[in-house]
Amino acid sequence: MGGSGDLIDFNVIEGHKENIQALPSGRSAKALHQLYSPPILGQQPSPADTQDANSKAREPFEKELQMIDEADDPLDVYDRYVKWTLDAYPSAQATPQSRLLPLLERATKALQGTPQYRNDPRYLKLWLHYIRLFSDAPREVFVFLARHEIGDGLALYYEEFAAWLENAGRWNQAEEIYRMGIEKEATPAARLMRKFGEFERRKEAQPEGATEPSSPALPVARPALAAKIDPFAASSPAPGQQQQARSSAPKKSKSSKMAIFSDSGEDSRPNSGSSSKGWDNIGTLAERKKENSIEAKPMAGEKLKGGKTNGGMQKLMIFKDQD
């Protein structure tokens, strides 16, 4: 039996539960109790003191990231760092003070090209934290993961994507995602089948006649001009025919332009093919929002437009009935 130090006073957590952001995996009651318990002696630490303590606790993780190239499991460093951030900032994890957004962007981008992490649940959960807390376009991020085969063998990916589509009222697309995961034999298969069965029962309870988009859940990626196609191949004569036509053609006047023929089989036009996976990275949230922000500039020399003044027009007279 544990000692008295292991006892948790849930009344302490109860007073802060409205400010604690929920996580799908749940939170540690012990960590919350330690965070919100009042000190035995002295006053309650100020926000500045808490921030200083968190900064000191953050230093070991930053040192590990500096040596990340020598780590046996780089994902473990990011995973522990993110978990610590979620525990240290239970009510402010989506704020600049937690630095969670740049940490998730850094982790997902750094490990994106590592094959052994594509179907690692820890790496997929980093993406899911980013989608839930910060993403301004969750569906695009799910599509991005599918294009790069991140989590395509994990049931968690299909469950989360289908749940988002269901909440958005896209029931047919959600069913498509579930069936896609079952077809790919994503693991654990038993949990995916159970989630799909629960989804089907919820879908049957929905009223009929609801309008939904007819587009697929995962748009088909069509590379632009990926294949080199010669639009003149069907009408171009053979090289021998070109030579014969050149010798038998009548001489043109000097004013007419000279037609230049090429016997080379190589197409000199540049190939603008692109990858079928779409974009290589989704960038940062700040980069995607910069188009909607106004660049700061000094006010020196700027003129403010004033309101229109009366140009001498007579004011409207208001008539009143005499009593």
pLDDT score, position 70 = 94
Instruction: Point out the least confidently predicted range of 2-11, 261-270, 291-300.
Output: 261-270
pLDDT reported for residue 95: 80
**According to DSSP H, which parts of the chain are helical?**
10-14, 29-36, 47-66, 74-88, 100-110, 121-133, 138-147, 155-167, 171-183, 189-204, 239-248, 285-289
pLDDT confidence of residue 298: 74
pLDDT band at 273 (very low <50, low <70, confident <90, very high): very low
Specify the pLDDT at position 208.
80
pLDDT average, residue stretch 44-50 = 66
Which is more confident, 274 or 76?
A: 76
Residue 157 backbone dihedrals phi, psi, to 5 degrees: -60, -50
Q: In terms of pLDDT, which residue wins out, 121 or 322?
A: 121
pLDDT reported for residue 40: 46
pLDDT, average across residues 201-230: 73
Q: Is the pLDDT of residue 117 over 50?
A: yes
Backbone angles phi, psi at 237, to 5 degrees: -75, 160
| DSSP conformational letter for 186 | -
pLDDT of residue 31: 58
Check whether 233 has a pLDDT greater than 70. no
Q: Which residues pair with 187 in a beta bridge?
A: 154
pLDDT at residue 1 in the model: 41
320 — pLDDT class (breaks 50, 70, 90): confident
175 or 3: which leads in pLDDT: 175
On the question of pLDDT at 223 being above 60, the answer is no
Nearest-angstrom CA–CA distance, 119 and 138: 19
Q: Are 129 and 104 in contact (CB under 8 A)?
A: yes
Residue 243 has pLDDT above 60, yes or no: no
Query: What mean pLDDT is reported for the chain?
Result: 76
Q: Which one has a higher pLDDT value, 307 or 88?
A: 88
pLDDT-based confidence at residue 41 (cuts at 50, 70, 90): very low
Q: What is the mean pLDDT of residues 87-100?
A: 82
pLDDT at position 99, please? Answer: 92
Confidence (pLDDT) at 309: 63
Q: Which residue has better confidence, 84 or 315?
A: 84
Kindly give, in sequence order, each residue whose CB lies less than 8 Å from that of residue 112, ignoring residues fewer than 6 positions away.
Answer: 148, 150, 281
* Residue 230: per-residue pLDDT: 47
Q: Place 274 in a pLDDT band, splitting at 50, 70 and 90.
A: very low
| Distances, alpha carbon 43 to alpha carbons 11, 12, 32, 49, in Å | 19, 16, 19, 11
